[in-house]
Amino acid sequence: MSDTLVLRAATPADAAAIAATIAASFEQYRGRLEPESGAFGETADGIAAELAHECGAILAERNGRILGCVMVQLIDDDLYFGRLAVVPEARGQGIAHRLIDAVEDEARRRELAGVRLGVRIVLTENQALFTSLGYVEISREAHEGFDHPTSINMRKALR
């Protein structure tokens, strides 16, 4: 086996591994977000259904093991990404950056205008990462049941 990190498109057969990767990766946010992240409710069946329809995912794997993933979906003339996840033991190796680059490359391949994402207001370290990569805030929104913004929508123009 090779220790090379491989990026590839996910298939519905990857759904259970994606759900496990998201669960492991988002555990650090448990109790830190209000409301709790929807990532905690992700299931293999739900992800398989998304992959079979309008959503896609990009996986980062090494030696056949998924170390990271990101879900993508077309919104207007932009590619939206969410559930960017890297398992704790693989952090600090540039995997998140590689996944974001892959999303941007896919958007360019599709000749889309930009890439979008959402990030929680309390996750200032994530906001700083996305800002350093050229993403800018375009709006704020409140989750259902909240009277104040809880998340920031960010976008990077590609053309």
The CATH number given to whatever domain includes residue 82 is: 3.40.630.30
Residues 85 and 40: beta-carbon distance below 8 Å:
no
Question: Is 103 a member of any domain?
Answer: yes
Question: Is 49 a member of any domain?
Answer: yes
> Which residue range is the domain that position 53 belongs to?
6-113
Domain count, the chain: 1
Question: Is 50 a member of any domain?
Answer: yes
Most confident option among 29-43, 44-58, 82-96:
82-96
Instruction: Please state the rounded mean pLDDT for residues 125-132.
Output: 96
Q: How far apart are CA 48 and CA 38, in angstroms?
A: 16
pLDDT at position 39 is 93
The two tokens of residue 148 are 């104040």
Q: Is the pTM of this model over 0.85?
A: yes
Question: Positive or negative CA dihedral for 67, 130, 11, 47?
Answer: positive
- Nearest Cα to 155, choosing from 115, 124, 119? 115
Provide Rg for the chain, Cα atoms.
Answer: 15
Question: Is 129 a member of any domain?
Answer: no
pLDDT at position 80 is 98
Name residue 119's beta-bridge partners. 152
Instruction: Please state the rounded mean pLDDT for residues 78-90.
Output: 97
pLDDT of residue 125 exceeding 90, the answer is: yes
Question: Is 31 a member of any domain?
Answer: yes
Question: Is 130 a member of any domain?
Answer: no
Q: How far apart are CA 7 and CA 142, in angstroms?
A: 33
pLDDT at position 1 is 59
Question: Is 47 a member of any domain?
Answer: yes
Question: Is 143 a member of any domain?
Answer: no
pLDDT at position 88 is 97
Most confident option among 2-6, 47-51, 135-139:
135-139
